A = this chain, B = another copy of it.
């Protein structure tokens, strides 16, 4: 429980999220659309979700005889996966929605993520309990966790605990994987005739839970605003000191939405988009060669400085790196001969002797310090841990090597001094922007009505985010509708499809159109810190990518 508060937290606690008109209506009815289909693999998905496949999209409307809780209900809540700004407002919206339906409705939070459901660790969420958390960042109200519910034993444990507590609905706040889990759980409950409705809520700062139906996941707006604030500040510093190349790595391993959004907000000199690298099958050497060329051409203009934005997951999108990692894992796991080697130098030599062809080339394209890091830091199974590699440092070193060679050939005469940054934890728990505060509150409120209506296997949906909040639409999307089959650990699994950066889409094309100019000139923008008060144009900005995707 929060004992004290900063002046901002204190002032912000009285903020009343703007509620869509439809959710403020005294009586809310459900309008059903047409039956739905999964985005692909229809037959397989239908077979896996016999009870929840094909449900209609639903939209809420104001109308008589709407959703009711004549008998009080008890709803369970779990926060799943990484933190995202606005989670506490989902809880607040869910709570207020339930209380609007029936003052006696109850909300219980399960602690520390899905493991709380298994271990039956929980807390009742009351009005006074909620007060210090409204409009604040973090998931600390009940905590979050990454435990996956995958086995029948786990499902049965959840059924046992929820049934004992007389729970009639479970709201799962999470990303694509957690919502896939919610769908599986909802289907399992139906299969077992357990009367518990499962509703999902789209969370992730990464922005990769996005599709025809979901305009943006919550947290993306706030997190990217924090990263853009910092990137803008670093750009100003860069332009004032004219001394360094700043390499800014941004959180998000599976897609480059964050990097793209920050790039469009800040206009740095270079932005790497993993999806483009993968589509073009670029090698690491090709990527760094392109970057080095920008460094060289700027130095010709007397500019030995610049700012580069890098998505955290870059390496895993470079085909040769993926292959190299696989081969290294095969070669080194349980390899006594290799294990016996003590020094990095000897390990590197050993590996060079045991690689060949493309893999050897790829390994040799890595700077020695990264080669050493790759071989030193392996997981308990002996696998190389690509996630532990400091990609920004790798790129700095690789570019230094390129520039050294160019200098030797008389093709470069500038100075190159670099600073690396990683922005991640700084943005996941920021107090939600007005957009996220309102959006999350509406998502939670919507979830309460989906729960009360017994609409299982649905994702809480709030749309038309480019319009004023009063005009937002609210309703539910069948989770199976967003699914396809994917190969995971050698098995076909039904999953909600991750959204990658669309290389044909307007946001990426806007980057493409401008990047040569941004590389050459210093058209840095400084978005500044999130403003909770002030002119609407400042305090109520929506993501640039969303404007480009959904704007007219």
Contacts and interface: CB of A to CB of B under 8 A. Distances in A.
B143 A232 contact: no
A12 to B, nearest CB: 7
Interface stretch (A120-128, A134-142, A148-156): A134-142
A159 interface: no
Contacts of A533: 531, 533-535, 539
A526 interface: yes
A236 interface: yes
A538 interface: yes
Nearest to A142: B240
Interface string A422-439: 000111111100000000
Contacts of A242: 112, 143
A402 interface: no
A233 B427 contact: yes
Contact of A531 (B8, B112, B526): B8
A246 B425 CA distance: 10
A530 interface: yes
A239 B132 CA distance: 15
A428 B352 CA distance: 44
A11 B526 contact: no
Interface string A405-442: 00000000000000101000111111100000000000
Contact of A425 (B11, B234, B425, B539): B234
A530 B529 contact: yes
Q: Which of A136, A144, A419, A538 has the most CB of B within 10 A?
A: A538
A178 interface: no
B12 A528 contact: yes
B4 A525 contact: yes
Contacts of A265: 6
A229 B529 contact: yes
A473 to B, nearest CB: 26
Interface string A214-246: 000000000000100110111011011110001
Q: Which of A6, A136, A143, A537 has the most CB of B within 10 A?
A: A6
A240 B429 contact: yes
A523 interface: yes
B428 A9 contact: no
A96 to B, nearest CB: 22
* Number of chain A interface residues as a range: 35 or more
B236 A429 contact: yes
Contacts of A232: 6
A83 B537 contact: no
Contacts of A112: 242
A530 B530 CA distance: 8
A510 B154 CA distance: 49
A551 interface: no
Contacts of A541: 7
A3 interface: yes
A399 B35 CA distance: 59
A237 to B, nearest CB: 4
A470 B427 CA distance: 37
Contact of A137 (B425, B521, B526): B526
A419 B425 contact: yes
B240 A8 contact: no
Nearest to A533: B534
A345 interface: yes
A112 B243 CA distance: 11
Interface string A528-552: 1111111101110100000000000
A345 B112 CA distance: 43
A528 B143 contact: no
A538 B8 contact: yes
A82 B237 CA distance: 9
Contact of A537 (B7, B136, B246): B7
A191 to B, nearest CB: 33
A340 interface: no
A110 to B, nearest CB: 15
Contact of A140 (B239, B425, B530, B535): B239
Contact of A528 (B9, B236, B237, B526): B9
A237 B112 CA distance: 13
A353 interface: no
Given A229-B529, A537-B11, A538-B11, A143 B343 contact: no
A295 to B, nearest CB: 19
Nearest to A524: B2
A323 B91 CA distance: 55
User: Considering the complex of A and B, which 9 residue pairs feature the smallest CB-CB distances, nearest first?
Assistant: A529-B529, A533-B534, A138-B236, A236-B429, A8-B528, A139-B240, A237-B429, A533-B533, A140-B239
8 contacts: A6-B527, A7-B537, A7-B538, A9-B525, A138-B526, A140-B236, A226-B529, A421-B426
Given A8-B527, A343-B343, 6 more contacts: A3-B521, A5-B525, A11-B537, A137-B526, A431-B528, A529-B529
